[in-house]
Each structure stands twice: as C-alpha cells, then as structure tokens.
C-alpha cells in the first residue's frame, strides 16, 4: 500500500490507504482573516498560538502553516514571516507540519528551519513552477501536495485534472521523487455552482488511487462554498470522499460534526482497530453536546493511545 511519511522532530505520521484519515488543520492561515493577517504583520502571534493548540486538542494529525499576508512584496516579507511562524508552531506542538505557500522563496526559508519531515503545500502543473518547487522537495527529501491545475487553469473536466496530476507525478520522478511522496489534490469544486462536483471528485479519487496509486488531499470546505449550513455538507462529503480513496484533507478539526464523520469513517473503513479511537473519544459523549471532544493523547511513533495512527484555492470556513 502507498504510504506517505511525514514527521515532526519527535512524531511520525503516515498518510495511506490503510491508515486512519489524516486531518491537516487549516486554521493557521491569514487568507480571508484580516485580523490574523494584521496580527502576524505586527509580530503578534497570539491567535496563531491559540489556533495551533486548539487544533491539536481537537485531534489534528498535522497542522498547515501559512503566512501569506497581504503586503507590497510577498517575496521580501513572506519568507522570514513563514520561517518565524514555523519555528513558533513547532515549539508549541509536536505533530508534523504542512508548509503552505505559493512563494518558492518562502518554502525554501521554511524548509530550512522546519524539523522532521514536513509536507510541502504545494506545486501545480506549470513547468516553471515544477522546476522551482520539485528541486526543493528533493533537496530536503520531503513530500509535496500536487494540485491538479496548470497553465490552462482549473479544468471542469475531471479527465483533464487527472492528466495534470499524472504529468506532475511523472515530472517528479524525473527528479527522483517517488509517487508515494506525491499527495494529489484533485481540486474539489463548489457543489452549489456545479451540481456534478461531488460525483466528479469521487470518480477522480478512485482513478488516482487505482491508476496512479497516490495519496490524495483537498481543501475540504471548498465543496460547500456559498451554501448555508456548510458544515453539514462538509460532514457528508468527507466520509464519501474517504470511501472513494481520499486519504487526507486540509480542514478545520475544531468542527465536531466533521470530526465525528471522520472518526466514524475510520471505523467503517477498518482503520480504527477494534473501534478503539471511537470508544476513547466518545465513551462519555452527551447527546446534543456540540463541543469538540478531546482526542486521545498520542504516543511516540504516531499512534494514538486509543489506537488511531498519529497538509489551490480553498475556501476556509
């Protein structure tokens, strides 16, 4: 089975078809969060600290870290800011990180200070982009999220998105990067704008698993963009995507209904041995309680003591 290894300095996690679903916490991202962007530009990381700790407590497997604040020249400001944010977050939590930037210089700065084996988010199918990001991934021996769009933009045709993903995997192999270190984002379209978006992505996930044999991820909340009660849609989408082959998602782990859906999917997919994580998480569950239960603490090596094994455009909730 394909397994993508990610690690912090002290903990290893696996993304794979035979592993519990990998929850990549999305909250450390100033995109669309003006208050957080202003804080980070001013050197105030109080919200970053709070979001990091809350997501780990809610059961995140990894944390996505983005410092793409609006500024005059992101090439000058984002690299040191992202590096500083990475250093701060990894001083607070011990789970693996997903380094999130569209600026290659920022990725390089973050990789230089990040301990362990982070996931890089991301690379797209444009040749110049591939030639900037893939050498960094090879240099630091880290896996990368491959987003299924290229010079032609984001296609509504899932077959085109599959071919872009295949191109990225083949290009990565030219750099000596194996398919197990490519995590494909097939691009989830908003279901409110495209009624077939769910059916398309489920079919595409099956092809990516069966034909390319790669792990997959997505910005999960994209599917509900523009709709009311988005978390109900997200909670239905996630287990359906898992059943179709998706192995990770960038999402908000502090949403109990979505995390409950993922825990249940792990039980039903056979990746929660003896239902141990479900039992340890929900044995004291009170019906109607909307607070997020604290996940079972994780033991060294990436396995939670409850039995569960211890990262573009995406819309954040």
Q: Over the stretch 35-53, which tens digit does the pLDDT of each residue have?
A: 999 999 899 999 999 999 9
| Residue 313 predicted with pLDDT over 80 | no
Q: Quote the pLDDT of residue 71.
A: 62
Of 30-39, 189-198, 217-226, the least confident: 30-39
Cβ-based neighbour number of residue 128 at 10 Å: 8
Find out whether 85 and 45 touch, Cβ atoms under 8 Å: yes
pLDDT score at 288: 77
Residue 204 has pLDDT above 50, yes or no: yes
- The Cβ of residue 147 has, within 10 Å, a number of other Cβ atoms equal to 27
The model's confidence at residue 294, banded by pLDDT at 50, 70 and 90, is low
Q: What is the mean pLDDT of residues 192-197?
A: 97
Q: What is the pLDDT of residue 315?
A: 44
Q: Rounded mean pLDDT of 61-66?
A: 98
C-alpha distances (whole Å) from 39 to each of 64, 81, 228, 254 are 18, 12, 29, 21
Mean pLDDT of all residues in 84-99: 98
User: What homologous superfamily does CATH list for 3-282?
Assistant: Dihydropteroate synthase-like (3.20.20.20)
The H or E element spanning position 251 is: strand 248-251
Q: What is the pLDDT of residues 231-283, one digit of tens each?
A: 999 999 999 999 999 999 999 999 999 999 999 999 999 999 999 999 999 99
Among candidate residues 229, 228, 235, 283, the one with its CA nearest the CA of residue 256: 235
């Amino acid at each position: 089975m394909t397994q993508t290894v990610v690690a912090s300095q002290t903990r290893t996690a696996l993304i794979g078809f035979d592993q519990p679903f990998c929850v990549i916490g999305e909250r450390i991202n100033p995109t669309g969060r003006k208050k957080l962007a202003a804080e980070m530009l001013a050197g105030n990381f109080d919200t970053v600290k709070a979001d990091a700790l809350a997501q780990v407590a809610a059961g995140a497997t990894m944390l996505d870290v983005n410092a793409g604040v609006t500024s005059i020249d992101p090439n000058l400001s984002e690299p040191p800011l992202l590096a500083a944010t990475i250093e701060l977050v990894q001083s607070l939590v011990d789970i693996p990180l997903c380094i999130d930037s569209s600026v290659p210089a920022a990725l390089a700065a973050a990789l230089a200070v990040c301990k362990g084996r982070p996931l890089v988010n991301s690379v797209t199918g444009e040749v110049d982009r591939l030639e900037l990001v893939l050498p960094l991934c090879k240099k630091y021996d880290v896996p990368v999220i491959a987003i299924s769009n290229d010079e032609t933009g984001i296609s509504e045709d899932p077959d085109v998105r599959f071919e872009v993903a295949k191109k990225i995997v083949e290009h990565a192999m030219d750099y000596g990067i194996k398919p197990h270190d490519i995590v494909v984002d097939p691009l989830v379209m908003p279901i409110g704008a495209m009624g077939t978006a769910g059916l398309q992505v489920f079919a595409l996930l099956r092809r990516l698993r069966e034909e390319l044999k790669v792990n997959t991820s997505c910005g999960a909340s994209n599917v509900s963009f523009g709709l009311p009660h988005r978390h109900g849609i997200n909670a239905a989408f996630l287990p359906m995507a898992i059943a179709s082959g998706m192995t990770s998602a960038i999402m908000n782990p502090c949403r109990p209904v979505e995390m409950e859906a993922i825990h249940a999917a792990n039980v039903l997919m056979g990746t929660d041995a003896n239902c141990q994580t479900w039992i340890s998480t929900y044995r004291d569950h009170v019906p109607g309680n909307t607070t997020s239960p604290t996940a079972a603490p994780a033991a060294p090596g990436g396995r939670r003591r409850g039995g569960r094994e211890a990262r573009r455009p995406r819309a954040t909730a």
